[in-house]
Amino acid sequence: MLNNLSGIGAVQEALTTTNKLLAEVLAELKETNAQRLAALDSQLAALNVAVDKLGAESRQS
């Protein structure tokens, strides 16, 4: 039924292109977020080590 409408092919093509581009953006965002989470994890681990070290030093005093 929709294929009978004039110009629907161009709209369908534009939507297909839009969906493809959105999928590419989503993949890039997922990668960026994964990298940021990995960096944050590393920073938090280093902070935990520093806090544990400070706690150990304060207990020795």
pLDDT tens digit sequence for 10-61: 999 999 999 999 999 999 999 999 999 999 999 999 999 999 999 888 888 7
Report yes or no on whether pTM surpasses 0.85: no
Q: Residue 23: how many CA atoms within 13 Å on its side-chain side?
A: 6
Residue-level pLDDT at 57: 85
Mean residue pLDDT across the chain: 92
Residue-level pLDDT at 53: 93
